[in-house]
Structure 1
Amino acid sequence: MGVAQKLIRGADRLLDWLICIALLLALLYGGYALWDNFMIYRNTDLDSQIMKYKPTPSNPSLSELQAINPDVCAWLTLDNTHVDYPVLHGTDNSRYLNTDFYGKYSLGGSIFLDYRNSADFTDSYSLLYGHHMDGGAMFGDIVNFENETYFTQHQTGTLILNGKTFKLEIYAVLHEDAYQSPMFQNVGNAGKYAQRLEYIKQHAVQYREIGTTVNDQILAMSTCASATTNGRSILIAQMVEENDAGGQ
């Protein structure tokens, strides 16, 4: 066998090995990606310990949850959706962006209240954030409210605090820019509340009239909307306090 043939055969074997290594690396990467994706979404599911302490309108207490994490300020439920989570309140809006209920790193983060808001939800305008996760996890279902049929079929929810329950009357959803929308400005009890209510009415993708006035409190729930760059879907609900722990 000539030298040239030996070199060709050696090159062929090397190429075969390189192909095998490349395929193996691709399989390993694919397996890791699947595992990583599974872990991301598993971490967005609440474990049995947290669900065991979920408050109810008849027993509106967060004490057990706050014993685990004192930053818990409420429990949010949107009826007939996947939104059923404790609400956290940090010292800034990055604290729970990628941190779970236990204070551990999690890509899915937590549902959290804007740091500018009062943790007792006494503000006229309170703003919640949550990631848009597949399968409806976290605030993944919020974007569905932009669909008229879904919007008309999902119009209620509950926000439970220590010793207090608010019924949520969902009445609008907006599609806004994260860096330009006034919905992310003047959070809390800042002025121009009447203008905010009018802005919601004029810019809503879906809207129903329920008679919201400047004397009412509203809750906004914001999540990413992948359809546009920097897009956000913002769900709006009027907060109606129940007269007592047992109901209205």
Structure 2
Amino acid sequence: MICLLMTVTAAGCYFAVRTYRELKPAIIAENYYKKIRDKVADKVTREPDAGKLKEWNRDSIAWLSGPGTPIDYPVVQGKDNDYYLHHLSDGTPNEIGAIFLDYRNKADFSGDISVIYGHHITLNRMFSPLSQYKEQTYYNQYPYMVLYTPEQTYKIELFAGTILNGENESFPMEFKRKKEKKEWIRKRMVESTFQSKVKPSAKDRIVVLCTCSYEFYNARYAVYGRLIEMER
């Protein structure tokens, strides 16, 4: 009986240690991002001051927040789309990574299409909440996000969400003709997992929020929104 208890106890300790090791990067990452939130938040409004982000890393360009959702992170931009998959926004190695803008995009979000990537992490962290936009009710509750940059604050009015194949995932950065952009937007809305009353025009700047999905091997889920300047 004693041997059995010792075996059970040993097994329990083993799985506890294994679970902790698996969760440790997420715990470290969340503590780090919480510290940044506290540091950059305005004492009165509690809104992030994107201008303070450079204190942690010169690659910091913005802050992304989904009011009412767990999405509330700094946005960085590296020299490629690999580095910040494995590093926090201050450059610390961590598999949780950071929320980052595609390296080919303009850092001020002035291009036709700006693509922001983030890991799909357990416990509803990083970009995992995006998957809930596959349900109409979730979109109805949280139809927009806010992007804070040092120069301007933007409302991201979400208008579509689509499941993609990561094997051939490709987002255009610029369009030569407005007709091409208008058609691209139309297709996203036709394929969308939710319906929106937001009708982007060819003049609108579009932000794509992309993360992993699990419908099939190498699936991706992308949520699309148009940028609207807000008063600061």
- Using the size of structure 1 for normalisation, the TM-score is 0.81
Determine the structure 2 residue equivalent to 1:235. 223
The alignment yields a C-alpha RMSD, in angstroms, of: 2.5
* Residue number among 105, 127, 130 corresponding to 1:139 in the alignment: 127
Question: In structure 1, the residue corresponding to 2:198 is in which secondary structure?
Answer: coil
- Using the size of structure 2 for normalisation, the TM-score is 0.86
Residues 159 and 199, structure 2, Cα contact 8 Å, conserved in 1: no
Determine the structure 2 residue equivalent to 1:116. 104
User: Which stretches in structure 2 are left out of the alignment for 5+ residues?
Assistant: none
Determine the structure 2 residue equivalent to 1:75. 63
Determine the structure 1 residue equivalent to 2:142. 154
Distance 1:57 1:194 in 2: 37
* Residue number among 209, 219, 229 corresponding to 1:221 in the alignment: 209
Distance 1:153 1:200 in 2: 21
- Count the aligned residue pairs: 224
User: Which stretches in structure 1 are left out of the alignment for 5+ residues?
Assistant: 1-16
| 2:144 paired with 1:174 | no
Residues 89 and 115, structure 1, Cα contact 8 Å, conserved in 2: yes
Determine the structure 2 residue equivalent to 1:204. 192
Determine the structure 1 residue equivalent to 2:25. 40
Provide closer, same or farther for how the CA distance between residues 172 and 185 of structure 1 changes in structure 2, counting only shifts above 3 A.
Answer: closer
Q: How much identity, in percent, do the aligned residues show?
A: 24
Kindly state the Cα deviation for residue 190 of structure 1 after the two structures are TM-superposed. 3.7
* Structure 1 consecutive aligned stretches of length 4 or more whose deviation exceeds 3 Å: 19-29, 54-61
Kindly state the Cα deviation for residue 233 of structure 1 after the two structures are TM-superposed. 1.1
Distance 1:73 1:53 in 2: 13
Which protein is bigger by CA-based radius of gyration? 1
Kindly state the Cα deviation for residue 237 of structure 1 after the two structures are TM-superposed. 1.0
